[in-house]
Amino acid sequence: MANKEEITKILDILDKTYPNAHCELNFRTPFQLLVSTILSAQSTDNTVNKVTEKLFAKYPTLNDFLHLTEKELEKEIKEVGLYKNKAKNILGMCRELAARFNGQVPQNRDDLMSLPGVGRKTANVVLSNAFGIPAFAVDTHVFRVSNRIGLANSNNVEKTEEQLMEVIPKDKWIKAHHWLIWHGRRICHARKPKCHECPIKMYCNMGKKM
């Protein structure tokens, strides 16, 4: 793993490289972010944004969703992967929000994870992006990039999340999550990372071999 000094430098470079890094899912409310994040599993943010642009124009609120049947929702979201399962989970999640949380998206991880279709990553995305509560959502990009550059050294997402929270100051968790995603999407691709143009290659074992 990288040492403290290297970690500070890596974070500094990522900050300078991606000063405007932010959540790339479009949403206006915590509820919309929760729906979008459930939709984003195994789908790109781009595809989800195209679907939700129409979906949220027609059905912007929890109350609107509560009037939808599973078949109707499936029709609206059929361009995203696993849409049947997602439609079922989203409507189940909506019913739980109405029945147990007074129609509000809860602001703590345990309550969020008690909702259908909401795992730890989704809960962390909602906590950090909808409510500004420090949390480190580890998706495929965060997992790959952080382990390549030595911010973590693990073969599972839970351990990676723990290690990232240990080595990165809490006030940087939300930003660092976005820096790592943006780096993974733009340069540090899974198959052919663009190491030659990577600004942190001097800190990365793969980059040092270039």
**Residue numbers annotated as active site:** 121, 139
3-state helix, strand, coil in the chain (%, to 5): 65, 0, 35
Q: Is 10 in the site for ligand SF4 (CB under 6 A)?
A: no
Closest to ligand SF4 by CB, 41 vs 204, is 204
Closest to ligand SF4 by CB, 130 vs 198, is 198
Q: Which of residues 94-113 bind ligand SF4 (CB under 6 A)?
A: none
Centre a 10 Å sphere on the Cβ of residue 133 and count the other Cβ atoms it contains: 15
Concatenating the DSSP letter of every residue in 87-107 gives HHHHHHHHHHHHHHSTT---S
The C-alpha atoms of residue 188 and residue 73 are separated, in whole angstroms, by 35
Binding letters toward ligand SF4, positions 159-198, x by CB under 6 A: ----------------------------xx----xxx--x
Q: Is 141 in the site for ligand SF4 (CB under 6 A)?
A: no
| Residue in the shown chain whose Cβ atom is closest to ligand SF4 | 207
Report the candidate in 203, 85, 198, 78 with the shortest Cα–Cα distance to residue 151.
203
Contact 36, 27 (CB under 8 A): yes
Q: Is 207 in the site for ligand SF4 (CB under 6 A)?
A: yes
Closest to ligand SF4 by CB, 71 vs 196, is 196
Interacting residues with ligand SF4 (CB under 6 A):
148-149, 187-188, 193-195, 198, 200-201, 204, 206-207
